[in-house]
Amino acid sequence: GDHVVLTTAHHLEVILLPRTFLPAGTITGAVVNVCCSIDAAAEHAHDLAIVQLESALCTRLQQPSFAQPHCAMSRNVLPPQHEPSAVRQEQWAQSNAKPPP
């Protein structure tokens, strides 16, 4: 189904959560790492405020348990201060656009 992959800051345990389970902003104050493909980040950006970080703040990882390189995004206990760029917002809008009827 529709999931986003989360890991805790100090563990590599993988937790799969339905994106509908976490409304935007729910985990903004948590200390977590979000591991997801860049495509998935765009897909879930409107659901998870935690992925609203510029790509410059991401570190590329190679993990054998994943099919492709993933972007690890870390968030601290501070309120979000990094808004996505206009380009990224446009990409997210396109990713989430529903096909015309």
pTM for this model (two decimals): 0.16
Residue 30 is predicted with a pLDDT of: 32
- List the chain domain ranges: 3-96
pLDDT, tens only, 51-71 = 333 332 333 333 333 333 333
In order of 5, 56, 64, 65, 100, the CA distances from 68 in angstroms are: 14, 19, 8, 9, 31
